[in-house]
């Protein structure tokens, strides 16, 4: 490595031509805002938390419109309560992970902490999507088994049998739910894909022996 040692010498004596910032320049920089990916992750995560909390509130009011039995109403109430507890746990976990991110950790730990924080939000989103699908399934079950709906279906499609009309209705609603889920997860992957592609690659490279 003799060649490199030669370059090393030159490297050590460099500096005179580099840009120099004055005391005042540096003081001014301290007032500027960070544009780091951690800040982006934090804001996007906040939006996600708010988005899914609003969605669960929206679903909360929907249950009243459906004529459900008392026992089922209690069950749904309990489920909603569990849902809020789980959301609160996710927010606490996110906060703990977010706080552990420190620029003065070693490089591998820093990357691990950033990815861990993101993963918390990823699981939060997956959980909410699963709840959304369950919610849809329940609502659709009540609609499809209600007499009002079955009567309407028969009036709307008198030429077909009730069973085939029902299968068609189930199929259409399943496709709509699937499209919503794919769009939601796709949008989510896109945002984080753009934000974390380089970090993931670097983490993989650093961890590889």
Partner 1 sequence: MVKDLKHRFTEDLEKNQNIIHKVCRAYTTSDSAHKDLFQEITIQLWRAYPKFRGDSKFSTWAYRVALNTAISLYRKSKRQIETSEIYDNLKELEFKDYDDEKDQQVKLLYKAIRQLSDIEKALCLLYLDDKSYKEISKTLGITEVNARVKMNRTKTKLKELLNA
Task: Mark 166-195 with x for binding to partner 1 (rule: CB under 8 A) and - for no binding.
Answer: -----------------------------x
- 155 interacts with partner 1 by CB under 8 A: no
Contacts of 151 (CB under 8 A, 6+ apart): none
39 vs 7: CA distance, rounded Å: 38
166 vs 135: CA distance, rounded Å: 19
Residue nearer to partner 1 on the CB measure, 32 or 71: 32
Pick from 99, 108, 126, 151 the residue near partner 1 by CB under 8 A.
Answer: 108
Distance of CA 199 to the CA centre of its chain: 18
Residue 7 CB, nearest approach to partner 1 (Å): 5
Residue 160 CB, nearest approach to partner 1 (Å): 55
164, HSE (Cβ side, Cα atoms, 13 Å): 6
Pick from 43, 96, 114, 183 the residue near partner 1 by CB under 8 A.
Answer: 114
Residue 40 CB, nearest approach to partner 1 (Å): 7
Distance of CA 209 to the CA centre of its chain: 31
- 147 interacts with partner 1 by CB under 8 A: no
Contacts 24+ apart (CB under 8 A), 53-61: 53/87, 55/128, 55/132, 56/80, 56/83, 56/84, 56/87, 56/128, 56/131, 59/135
Residue nearer to partner 1 on the CB measure, 5 or 159: 5
Residue nearer to partner 1 on the CB measure, 119 or 198: 198
- 102 interacts with partner 1 by CB under 8 A: yes
Residue nearer to partner 1 on the CB measure, 34 or 61: 34
Name residues contacting partner 1, limited to 6-35 (CB under 8 A): 6-15, 17-23, 26-27, 29-30, 32-35
Contacts of 64 (CB under 8 A, 6+ apart): none
Contacts of 53 (CB under 8 A, 6+ apart): 87
Binding site for partner 1 (CB under 8 A): 1, 3-4, 6-15, 17-23, 26-27, 29-30, 32-38, 40, 102-111, 114, 195, 198-199, 202, 205-207, 209
């Amino acid at each position: 490595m003799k060649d490199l040692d030669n370059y090393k010498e030159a490297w050590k004596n460099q500096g005179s031509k580099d840009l120099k910032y004055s005391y005042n320049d540096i003081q001014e920089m301290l007032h500027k805002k960070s544009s780091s990916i951690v800040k982006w992750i934090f804001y996007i995560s906040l939006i996600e938390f708010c988005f899914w909390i609003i969605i669960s509130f929206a679903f909360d009011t929907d249950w009243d419109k459906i004529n459900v039995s008392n026992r089922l109403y209690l069950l749904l109430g309990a489920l909603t309560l569990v849902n809020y507890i789980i959301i609160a746990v996710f927010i606490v976990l996110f906060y703990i992970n977010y706080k552990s991110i420190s620029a003065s950790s070693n490089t591998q730990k820093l990357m691990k902490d950033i990815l861990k924080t993101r993963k918390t939000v990823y699981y939060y989103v997956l959980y909410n999507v699963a709840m959304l699908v369950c919610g849809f399934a329940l609502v659709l079950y009540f609609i499809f088994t209600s007499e009002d709906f079955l009567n309407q279906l028969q009036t709307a499609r008198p030429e077909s049998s009730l069973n085939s009309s029902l299968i068609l209705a189930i199929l259409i609603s399943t496709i709509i739910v699937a499209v919503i889920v794919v769009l939601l997860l796709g949008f989510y992957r896109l945002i984080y894909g753009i934000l974390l592609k380089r970090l993931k690659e670097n983490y993989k490279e650093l961890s590889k022996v």
